[in-house]
Structure 1
Amino acid sequence: MRILEIIMQTNDLNETENFYTNNLQLELVEKKENTISFMAGETKLTFEKTTHNENPHYHLAFNIPVNKLEEAMKWGDHKFELVLNQEQGYITTFAKWKAKSFYFYDNNNNLAEFIIRTDLNNHSDEAFSSKNILNVSEIGIVSDKPLELAEQIVKQTGIDYFSKESKLENFVALGDDNGLLIIVSPNRNWYPTDRKAEKQKLSIRIKTDETEITLHLNELGMPSELSEA
């Protein structure tokens, strides 16, 4: 599964442009009065100006080459705020997922993540740069009933449950190493922080082997539309 585009909300398009072009050094591909879009590898990352004063918070992860995690952390040292994990370090190992990652905040206080996945075997010989940001491989979806929402998406799209993770009442993962929908309940903290997950307006465009799907969620975390291309 590939995440082709995500559309998130922000209350500050100017600072978002500054962070993603100057700090993350992503290519700016579209700028309109109320939206701005960047390319993160093969994923279009779009921010839409919210009509509310409060800034929405999301969680997303970027895949990078499997041999570039430490180098990426050094590259980002003065570009963004790294987040300590529960062991007071920065790199977290996810043994079941065969993955390692570190976390950081963007200008909107979205919890972002650079992650390597051993099974992708995507080594790179280049010095780390924004060109090594391969795609958005995870996006968090917050729902009062994660299992029910996951089942609805599975039935309507054919996307499968992530084979490396169990289904829990407050945490369900759909997809594979290239693209994951992380569905959680509002009473769950986004690891490794003590911040509660928040239901937010969100759109996700996904490509599977069979089709292309767009999922729209409203401010209550409810799917307002689920359509195939």
Structure 2
Amino acid sequence: MRILELSLPVSDVAATARYFRDVLQQPVEGNAVRIGWSTITLVPAGALPVGGVHLAFNVPDDRFAAAIGWLRERAPLQRNPDGIDYFVLESNWQSQSVYFTGPDGMVLELIGRRRLPVGSRSGPFHGSELTSLSEVGLPSTDVDGLRTRLEADFGLQALSPPTPQFAPMGDDEGLLIVVDAARRWFPEGKDLPSARGLQLRLAGVSAGAGLADAAQGWQLRAA
């Protein structure tokens, strides 16, 4: 699955655009941020609450060490309660991650996945090496029910065994991180998940699929 487009409400469109351009070195045109095959369109949040949004970006796994050094120069990394700021997952994930805080308190993540193609560059890392928007967090009060809908309507499967609190739906190229609305985001365990006003357009899913959660305020549709 690929996350082609994300409409993201923010408190300050211009400031958030500058963050993506200047801190993460992404091309920005107006209110549109281009990250590989993904486009994030920044829209005014208005009365919508901000904070608690989770986004992850794919990085070629062989370039991850360079990416960590690049990120440390731009943003402090989030740590878990034990003070750890670098995380490796084996089993179904085969990944390595670091987390950092973005505008409006977004919980952002760089993730390298071993099953994806390696990079074509060497030397110092640059933000243009981010290949896509890799994950978007979707809170729900019924994780199992939402997982079932995503399986039936979108043809998505869980990347790792789901639980009633957590279900990563999709594959290495793109994941919907379905979480219990009362489960705080890893690694700091401070922020409750939110996706108010988020609208996603997905490729590699069942044609014509669409889904919205009025209570949580997000929408999905097939490309």
TM-score by length of 1: 0.87
Matched, 1:111 2:110: no
Give CA deviations for 1:98-144 in whole Å, capped at 9, x if unaligned. Answer: 10010011122101100111111423333311111000111100011
CA change 1:168–1:80 in 2 (3 A) is: same
Aligned counterpart in structure 2 of residue 173 of structure 1, from 168, 174, 180: 168
Whether 1:184 and 2:205 are equivalent positions in the alignment is: no
State yes or no: 1:201 paired with 2:197. yes
Identical pairs, percent: 25
Structure 2 length as normaliser, TM-score? 0.89
RCO higher in structure (CA 8 A, sep ≥6)? 2
Q: Deviations over 1:82-111 (max 9, x none)?
A: 111344122101112110010011122101
CA distance in 1, matches of 2:48, 2:177: 26
Give aligned pairs, total: 220
The residue type equivalent to 1:102 in the other structure is V
Task: Decide whether the 8 Å contact of 1:201 with 1:217 is kept in 2.
Answer: no
Q: 2:38 matched to 1:43?
A: yes
d(CA) in 2 for partners of 1:199, 1:228:
18
Aligned to 2:95: 99
Structure 2 residue 17 is the aligned partner of structure 1 residue 12: no
Instruction: Show the counterpart of 2:79.
Output: 84
2:147 aligns to what? 150
The correspondence of residues 49-88 of structure 1 with structure 2, limited to 5 A, is: 49-52=44-47, 54-88=49-83
Task: Kindly provide the amino acid, as one letter, of the partner of residue 4 in structure 2.
Answer: L
Contact 1:205–1:214 under 8 Å retained in 2: no
41-50 vs 202-211, greater mean Cα deviation = 202-211
CA distance in 1 between counterparts of 2:43 and 2:99 reads 23
Q: Give the whole-Å Cα distance in 2 for the aligned partners of 1:70 and 1:189.
A: 27
**Whole-angstrom CA distance in 2 between matches of 1:59 and 1:182:** 9
Q: Is the 1:11–1:52 contact (alpha carbons within 8 Å) kept by the matching residues of 2?
A: no
Give, as a single letter, the amino acid of the residue that structure 1 aligns with 2:102.
D
Q: Which runs of no fewer than 5 residues in structure 2 stay unpaired?
A: none
Once the two structures are TM-superposed, the CA of residue 201 in structure 1 deviates from its matched residue by 2.1
